[in-house]
Amino acid sequence: MFTKILIANRGEIACRVIKTAQKMGIKTVAVYSDADRDARHVMMADEAVNIGPAPSRESYLLADKIIAACKQTGAQAVHPGYGFLSENAGFAKRVEEEGIVFIGPKHHSIAAMGDKIESKKLAGAAGVNCIPGVNDAIETPERAVEIAQSIGYPVMIKASAGGGGKGLRVAFNDKEAFEGFTSCRNEARNSFGDDRVFIEKFVEEPRHIEIQLVGDSFGNVIYLNERECSIQRRHQKVIEEAPSPFISEATRKAMGEQAVQLAKAVNYQSAGTVEFVVGKDQSFYFLEMNTRLQVEHPVTECITGLDLVELMIRVAAGEKLPLTQAEVKREGWAIECRINAEDPFRNFLPSTGRLVRFQPPTETMFAADTSQWQGVRVDTGVQDGGEIPMFYDSMIAKLIVHGKDRLDAIAKMREALNGFVIRGISSNIPFQAALLAHPRFVAGDFNTGFIAENYSQGFRAEDVPHDDADLLIALAAFVNRKYRNRATHISGQMEGHEVEVGEEFVVVTLGQKGQTTPTPVTVTDFEKKTGSSLVTVGASSYKICSNYRLGEVRISGTFNGEPFTAQVERGGLASKNPLAIRVSHNGTQIDTLVLSTRAAALYELMPYKAPPDMSRFVLSPMPGLLVEVAVEPGQKVQAGERVAVIEAMKMENVLFAAADGVVKSIVARKGESMAVDQVIVEFV
């Protein structure tokens, strides 16, 4: 067994590998870019080596620097994690030639299966069902349109070296095929250093189901059940679960056996995943093989009781698999939510910056620990006060739960999301909470188009119906009463004019464009102890008990005897009102003012101040790098014409003109780092 390994990656996967290595008594070496100098994986490792500037092509993608770090520290093996160099056959070969063990499949297996074009040819030769398409690299957008027409729309344009939703577009017409080809090549070149692109038929209403397998150097390959990964947004997985609520036992067995057959054909030795697209009749087609550890591997660990990273390390060290196919377990139900740094209320645009607060829910399961199940686990590479840089992907953490069945797992995940506090940047937690409450998701009735179909106009908090909206009003009133109670203890109050707590209030819910909804409430004590209030909202009454302390974000306790967790904050909100109280629960978020009856009546008379008209400006919708300005001063621009391109978190975001106009001035320059709503172009 190795005594020291180097992790050629960053973020949560680097931390995940370090935990297993620590459990096995193996010392670890972290590598880091200038942007990750203070990152969590650097702190967790026994040693750390700087490998270059922030952009990944100048650090994490440089094989020479990784190998030099191995030699410098005496690391005997390299774990590549996922992304970056994990599926680079050339890197795996270089590592092997330098006498260092690659903790993953052999380079020839990566070359055969990691390349999506070659893997399709191999799968076809092995008799595996493949989706119709052209598997040869396409050189021009014109040729892409020709091929798309011959296959029939819709088609999927994919980067050969792609993964994680990067370098992938779906086209429904010639224009989308032409533009999608160009965007795919650019994204693929920037993310993977390989701009080859191919086209295949897009199966409508498909499910994305993948088989986890692991093989050793003795010719043994087993499959560890399946993962359901159909909940995707822009081809990026959002929620994964194991097992799938859709496929039958017979389909599971057939898919698993096909995956094993394919792995054996290339002498596969490590953890890997065979992805399938599954039709509603349970017919399935080979999609691709990921020759690495997957982001969503924890859900498989939960239902099988196995540490996949440990299996990878042991296989790489020459050990035989410790179990047979018949010994693979499938117990309970696991769900993973990817917690990403993106703003669901601004069309999921990337959000970067400082994590002012990072308070995950209480963990009862832990990575690399196979002794604790039926609980909550958080895999992350960040900590309180850490930075989310613009140079890498948007993942902040992975929230994993394991329940006795699917409904139990959903309930645990909803409660865990309620208690996950992230401040300083935006996250997709409200969106995840809404997805978990959607009747079709709860029923298991979904496919890869689920999010596009149900949230085609974007996501808004007010679009999520809360099963008990008055509870949010009651929580605002409960917290306000605690603030009022504290104010009664302020010293130096004028005699006869002391602050009184009061019982009658109006909770004013703040809406869009100055709209408000007043709700009268009554707040009284129902037990002679701190933290117990009876809140009456209309015909509903809530006996709330909580040890919540002012200034905390997370509030937990009971209402009417039922446990709850929510988030409550005062001040510094989108409303810009320092007295506003924001309440978030189960994906629903409201901003409120809790006022006396007289103050509420006066507030209704306040005029609405409209925001300034910014229609003459093109604003940066997110923090990022301005990589292109496509217009010049004096130029006439038509609606829908390309104006600028912002790059952040490995994604290209093209900004278009909203209306016809003439460019007055270019305010920002190419190469400039942009803030949210910073002006790029001004029109006359």
Q: Considering only CA atoms, which of 481, 470, 485, 594 is closest in space to residue 533?
A: 481
The pLDDT assigned to 130 comes to: 84
The pLDDT assigned to 314 comes to: 98
The pLDDT assigned to 214 comes to: 98
The pLDDT assigned to 530 comes to: 65
The pLDDT assigned to 346 comes to: 85
Q: Considering only CA atoms, which of 523, 547, 526 is closest in space to residue 535?
A: 523
Query: What pLDDT digit, counting tens, does each position of 488-499 carry?
Result: 888 898 988 888
The pLDDT assigned to 116 comes to: 72
**Over residues 108-137, mean pLDDT:** 82
Query: What pLDDT digit, counting tens, does each position of 130-178 carry?
Result: 887 877 889 999 999 999 998 889 899 988 887 667 788 999 999 999 9
The separation between the first and the last C-alpha atoms of the chain, rounded to the nearest angstrom, is 69
> Please, which pLDDT band fits residue 9 given cuts at 50, 70 and 90?
very high
| For residue 572, pLDDT beyond 60 | no
- The per-residue pLDDT of the chain, averaged, comes to 92
The pLDDT assigned to 461 comes to: 67
Predicted TM-score (pTM) of this structure: 0.85
Query: What pLDDT digit, counting tens, does each position of 272-299 carry?
Result: 999 999 988 888 999 899 999 999 999 9
Coil, helix or strand for 203? coil
Between 645 and 578, the more confident residue is: 645
| For residue 574, pLDDT beyond 60 | no
- Tell me, what DSSP letter sits at residue 17? H
Query: What pLDDT digit, counting tens, does each position of 381-414 carry?
Result: 999 998 888 888 889 999 999 999 999 999 999 9
| For residue 515, pLDDT beyond 80 | yes
> Please, which pLDDT band fits residue 237 given cuts at 50, 70 and 90?
very high
Query: What pLDDT digit, counting tens, does each position of 353-370 carry?
Result: 889 999 999 999 999 999
> Please, which pLDDT band fits residue 462 given cuts at 50, 70 and 90?
low
Q: Considering only CA atoms, which of 83, 79, 78, 32 is closest in space to residue 191?
A: 83
What's the farthest any 2 CA atoms get from each other in the chain? 91
| Exposure string for 648-667, b = 16+ CB within 10 A, e = fewer | bbbbbbebebeeebebeebe
Distance (Å, whole) CA 341 – CA 520: 37
Backbone torsions φ then ψ of 476, nearest 5 degrees: -60, -45
Cα 574–460–535 angle (5° rounding)? Answer: 70
Which residues lie below 8 Å from residue 64, measured CB to CB, with a gap of 6+?
Answer: none
The pLDDT assigned to 622 comes to: 85
Q: Which residue has the tokens 């199940």?
A: 373
Query: What pLDDT digit, counting tens, does each position of 526-539 carry?
Result: 876 667 899 999 99
Query: What pLDDT digit, counting tens, does each position of 74-110 carry?
Result: 999 999 999 999 999 999 999 999 999 999 999 999 9
Backbone torsions φ then ψ of 161, nearest 5 degrees: -95, 15
Q: Considering only CA atoms, which of 361, 345, 352 is closest in space to residue 428?
A: 345
Instruction: Point out the catalytic residue in the list 176, 226, 288, 301.
Output: 288
Residue 288 known to be catalytic: yes
**Over residues 466-474, mean pLDDT:** 92
3-state per-residue secondary structure call for 220-241: CEEEEEEEEEEEEECCEEEEEE
| Exposure string for 620-631, b = 16+ CB within 10 A, e = fewer | bbbbbbbbebbb
Q: Considering only CA atoms, which of 284, 270, 329 is closest in space to residue 302?
A: 329
Which residues lie below 8 Å from residue 18, measured CB to CB, with a gap of 6+?
Answer: 7, 28, 30, 41, 44, 45
| For residue 343, pLDDT beyond 60 | yes
Distance (Å, whole) CA 672 – CA 574: 27
**Over residues 44-63, mean pLDDT:** 96
**Over residues 255-272, mean pLDDT:** 95
The domains located in the chain, with CATH, are 4-103 (3.40.50.20), 132-201 (3.30.1490.20), 207-458 (3.30.470.20), 469-488+499-603 (3.30.700.30), 617-683 (2.40.50.100)
Which residues lie below 8 Å from residue 486, measured CB to CB, with a gap of 6+?
Answer: 550
Distance (Å, whole) CA 482 – CA 490: 13
| Percentage of the residues of the chain whose pLDDT score is greater than 70 | 98
Query: What pLDDT digit, counting tens, does each position of 288-336 carry?
Result: 999 999 999 999 999 999 999 999 999 999 999 999 999 999 999 999 9
Between 247 and 390, the more confident residue is: 247
Query: What pLDDT digit, counting tens, does each position of 425-451 carry?
Result: 999 999 999 999 999 999 999 999 999
Coil, helix or strand for 18? helix
